[in-house]
Amino acid sequence: MEKVLIGPRRYVQGTGVLNNIGKYIAPLGKRVLVAWGPVVSEQFSAIVKKSFEENELVLIPFKFSGECDRGQIGKGVEKAKAEKAEVVVGLGGGKAIDLAKAVAMEIDAKLVTAPTIASNDAPTSAATVYYTEEGNFDGWAIWPRNPDLVLVDTQVIVEAPVRWLISGIGDGLATWFEAEAAYKGRRVTLAGGVTTQAALTLARLCYDTLMDYGIDAVRDCAEHVVTPAVDRVIEANTLLSGIGFESAGLAAAHAVGNGLTGFEECKPYSHGEKVAFGVATQLCLDEDIEPDERLAVFDFMVEVGLPVTLEELGLGDISPEALKSFAETLCEPEQITHNHVFTVTPLDMYGAMVAADKLGRSCKALAE
């Protein structure tokens, strides 16, 4: 099986880069559809307009509902076609970005992602996660190309609530463990081949960066300042985690994280917060994980404020029967759970979730 690595064509990260968004987009095309949710369009339209004017770009604003569902994507495609957009920009969180990817691919336009939060690794990847109008996980698409430009303004990111950076740490923390799992089994990644040394190394760098700088970054981001720790963690959450999950592989942590979107109780929680419990579960599922490392990761998650118990995701009262039936769905044949080199049965998965919850509770109690 051949090795495949994919990634964005250009990655730009720095303080204030959004003020120059027009300069970065100009080489890609003139007519630019910007997909943003209601809050982001309010917050950033003046900056974007000014920079577009300075660079003689035509702004085609597309305000979507905030949900990346197939209906919203269809509306974006219609508008982009009618206005002859040459470039599609997703400005905002993961949903604006995923929607922009789908629209750009549908009309064969250039694609730009400009995250305003570092809550997940969507900006660099070629994947769109679909949700239903109600916000339930509804599958994903892997597009034939990654963004032409990823524009990450670190000042914008620290001005957002720190919860989003923490969520991105949860998503990024999964990357190495899943990459290692998929690599061991020589599984085919979302990039369409087996893992390169490069992607595996970036996945590891993602993990080391988060463990070394995550706690400092969360503290600094809560004060809304960009420090070297914040800068490194933003890169880990966005670029390293993005290349890692896409070109190095996924496993049980994301199966759990994505699966949790099916629970009404989990609706208020972000992708990264749900994936964090997936990391906790995977660490209790894989016997190759050293107990010391498992404990270090649990303690880290508790310290930065990521959920390590079912209660923290609104599932404190879930019955053993409901958890067992959830474990069964996570072990259906098409699930990424089976990227592990060992067989994962529903009973293994149930046991790992119970063990993770229990260990999470004891780590939390010790931290108090």
- Which residues here bind Zn ion, judged by CB under 5 A? 171
State the minimum distance, in angstroms, from the CB of residue 170 to Zn ion: 9
Name the residue nearer to Zn ion (CB basis): 20 or 119. 119
Nearest to 354 by CA among 313, 309, 314: 309
- Output 62 or 300, the one with its CB closest to Zn ion: 300
Q: Which is nearer to Zn ion, 69 or 171 (CB)?
A: 171
Q: Which residues contact 249 (CB under 8 A, 6 or more apart)?
A: 178, 179, 181, 182, 183, 187, 189, 190, 195, 339
Closest approach, Cβ 118 to Zn ion, in A, equals 12
The least distance separating Zn ion from the CB of residue 188, rounded to whole angstroms, comes to 18
Write the Ramachandran bin of 42: left for phi over 0, alpha for psi from -120 to 50, otherwise beta.
alpha
- Given the complex with Zn ion, which of 69 and 121 has the nearer CB atom? 121
Q: Please state the closest distance from residue 339 (CB atom) to Zn ion, in A.
A: 14
| Residue at shortest CB range from Zn ion | 171
Q: Which is nearer to Zn ion, 22 or 168 (CB)?
A: 168
| Enclosing H/E stretch for 58 | strand 58-63
Please enumerate in sequence order all residues whose Cβ is within 8 A of that of 68, keeping only pairs 6 or more positions apart, or say none: 94, 95, 96, 98, 99, 102, 128, 129, 130, 131
Dist CA 137 CA 134 (whole Å): 9
- Type of residue found at 300: F
What stretch of H or E contains 113? Answer: strand 110-115
Least gap, CB of 166 to Zn ion (angstroms) = 14
What's the rounded Cα separation, in Å, for the pair 28 and 111? 9
